[in-house]
Chains A and B, each alone.
Chain A
Amino acid sequence: MDLHTEMLLAEYDAQLPVIQRLQQIVKDSLNQAIDRNGMMVTAVKTRVKTRESLVGKLALKGSKYHSLDDITDILGARVITFYTDDVDRIAAMAEQLFDIDWENSVDKRRLHDLDSFGYNSLHYICRLPKSIVDDPDCPQLNTIRFELQLRTTLQHAWASINHDIGYKTGVEIPREYLRQINRLAGILEMADDEFSRIRTEITDYRRRVQQLVQNGQLDEVQLDGDTFHSYLAARPFNTLNKHIAAINQAEIQEVPLDDYLGVLIALGCKTLGDVEAMKKKYHEAAYALARHQLGNTDLDIISSSVGIQNICIVCILAQGGGKIGLIRLFNALNGENPQNELLAEMTYEQAKNLPLMKEGN
């Protein structure tokens, strides 16, 4: 080990506590900014280069560095996103968050020729601005540079495997294999673009569905998890629930109703229009069932699932599903349990003679 390397390592040892403090601040700043922007990412990682790793780096190109400040990746941060578009969003966020050393930052995504593929990642060399930390006792927190890498999950997978193959085998990789690895980078780039395109299309689809729901054009909306969720946002069973709650002046506990999707599909609903039609058709019968059940009790608390549950019950009976249909309903909603048979029996007896139930038929 030469004197220059020893000098840089001594500098590293002296600065390590500050770098570790910087690491935590950088990580917290990134996580908080991502949360503030309502984004989801695969991971936010930070690491401080180990002494051993630094020794290795200096052995390869130590003469390039006059002082530790010249090494910009002693502290590294990495944000791994789901989508390529999010790399640019996080980049914009980082530009506002940190002071960027543009001269030393590089967008490796733009370095490839038109006919080449390989490592894709955005590297920013950054410093913490005083707006994030301003400690007169530790001004280095604002001067030490760190590297921020932004890449997608697929880019990360390719880079990790490429690194593993390239560095760990210890032998030079034949050109043929390097070409195969780079070909994979091309495929993953296409996959990344496809994921982004699909996300954009799904977002557009959700917007269109929400618009149709808002406009009441429910017959045109196919019933699925997404569309049902949008439909539920308009609280379509609120009127029935309030009607039922009025029987005993009950309070209503809101619960998610998404689990009813499978039941509604099993009952033949294909569009949100079918659900709406079913709701209208069986509103009175569902209310009558609740009145019959709750009217003789002092139960003054109900959940917001009562309305849709009773609609399903009366619909099953109106369609001739009988006790078997009710057992299937309770099994679907509450899990299979021998008591569901008894429950179906009781519910069937309560419902079968309701006048509105007969009209529903």
Chain B
Amino acid sequence: MTTEIITNGNQMIAKFAGRLDTAAAVQTAEDVKPLLEASDKEIILDCTELEYISSSGLRIFLTIRKEAAPHGSKVIVRNINADIRQVFVMTGFISLFEIQ
């Protein structure tokens, strides 16, 4: 599991690749810390290469969303695959995020 963060003007893009399961979550939580400190940014969680997400991964996404609002940032989840979209529906997380 890898997480790459790219800043592009007003956007901060987190590119996730691999399986975001419980084992990977600790490192991923560390990797996304710059997103939690971002102010007035459009935070894009690019899931093009994300294969799987567990509850721990959902919690990381949730933390990013919770921190973004008071900092004036918004979060967009981009390119989730069908399985992850199904997870988002089953858990109701689909209502929590803007998904593109």
Asked if A303 meets B55 with Cβ closer than 8 Å, knowing A309-B89, A343-B86, the reply is no
| In contact, A333 and B54 (Cβ under 8 angstroms) | no
| In contact, A343 and B93 (Cβ under 8 angstroms) | no
| In contact, A255 and B54 (Cβ under 8 angstroms) | no
| In contact, B58 and A299 (Cβ under 8 angstroms) | yes
| In contact, A301 and B58 (Cβ under 8 angstroms) | yes
The answer to whether the Cβ of B24 comes within 8 Å of any Cβ in the partner chain is no
| In contact, B92 and A255 (Cβ under 8 angstroms) | yes
| In contact, B95 and A255 (Cβ under 8 angstroms) | yes
| In contact, A305 and B95 (Cβ under 8 angstroms) | yes
The answer to whether the Cβ of A339 comes within 8 Å of any Cβ in the partner chain is yes
The answer to whether the Cβ of A37 comes within 8 Å of any Cβ in the partner chain is no
Asked if A334 meets B94 with Cβ closer than 8 Å, knowing A339-B82, A346-B82, A347-B89, the reply is yes
CA distance A246 to B84 in the complex (A): 22
Cβ of A187 to closest chain B Cβ, rounded Å: 40
Pick from A303, A339, A343: contact of B95, CB below 8 A: A303
The answer to whether the Cβ of A144 comes within 8 Å of any Cβ in the partner chain is no
Q: Which 10 pairs between the two chains have the least Cβ-Cβ distance? A: A303-B92, A306-B92, A305-B92, A305-B95, A293-B90, A302-B91, A301-B55, A300-B55, A342-B82, A299-B55
What are some 25 contacts across the A-B interface (CB < 8 A)? Answer: A250-B91, A253-B62, A253-B92, A253-B96, A255-B92, A255-B95, A255-B96, A293-B90, A297-B90, A300-B55, A303-B91, A303-B92, A303-B95, A304-B92, A306-B91, A309-B89, A309-B92, A333-B94, A334-B95, A335-B100, A339-B85, A342-B85, A343-B85, A346-B86, A347-B86
Q: Which residues of B contact A (CB under 8 A)?
A: 54-55, 58-59, 62, 80, 82, 85-87, 89-96, 98-100
